[in-house]
């Protein structure tokens, strides 16, 4: 059982930059979407990021501020696809997360449902690892 966390984050999409791997995952019943995601650190120490999908483009520029906060406790992340019931999950676990606050600018455009979203909350740099994970297919319990 995974308990709720005060540090919980809602992830609205997980994109894989390899069309063949997306097809492979989908053929095996796992949710996957193609998208090109880039993140580079510029000469001034700011991170420049972009998410490109067929109907969505998100750009961000984030500059780390202040000291690194170490979070040595173990963590677990669970990813599941949208739908009426959860059938497949990916579980990732690790420890030794490091976080830093950031000043950031964000922009978005396109016809994807996420393009109508609102940016909320602070931007922070989160480095995790090492991490390990597995994909699971959940079985429905049958009642007698």
With vertex at residue 60, the alpha carbon angle to CA 58 and CA 64, rounded to the nearest 5 degrees, is 155
Q: Assess whether pLDDT exceeds 50 at residue 1.
A: no
- Average of pLDDT values for 2-26? 74
- Please give the Cα distance from 6 to 124 (Å, whole number): 16
CA-wise closest residue to 47 among 58, 57, 62:
62
| Segment 26-58, tens digit of pLDDT | 887 777 788 898 999 999 999 999 999 889 999
The structure tokens listed for 43 are: 């000469």
Domain boundaries, the chain: 15-137
The structure tokens listed for 71 are: 């979070």
Q: How many residues are given for the chain?
A: 144
């Amino acid at each position: 059982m995974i308990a709720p966390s005060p540090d919980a984050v809602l992830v609205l999409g997980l994109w894989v930059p390899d069309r063949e791997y997306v097809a492979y995952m989908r053929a095996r019943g796992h949710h996957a979407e193609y998208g090109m995601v880039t993140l580079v650190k510029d000469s001034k120490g700011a991170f420049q990021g972009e998410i490109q999908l067929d109907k969505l483009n998100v750009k961000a520029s984030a500059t780390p501020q202040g000291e690194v906060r170490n979070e040595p406790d173990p963590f677990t992340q669970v990813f599941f696809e949208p739908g009426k019931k959860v059938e497949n999950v990916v579980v990732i676990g690790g420890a030794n997360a490091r976080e830093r606050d950031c000043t950031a600018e964000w922009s978005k455009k396109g016809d994807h449902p996420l393009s109508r979203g609102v940016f909320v909350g602070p931007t922070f740099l989160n480095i995790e690892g090492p991490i390990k994970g597995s994909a699971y297919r959940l079985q429905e319990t049958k009642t007698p």
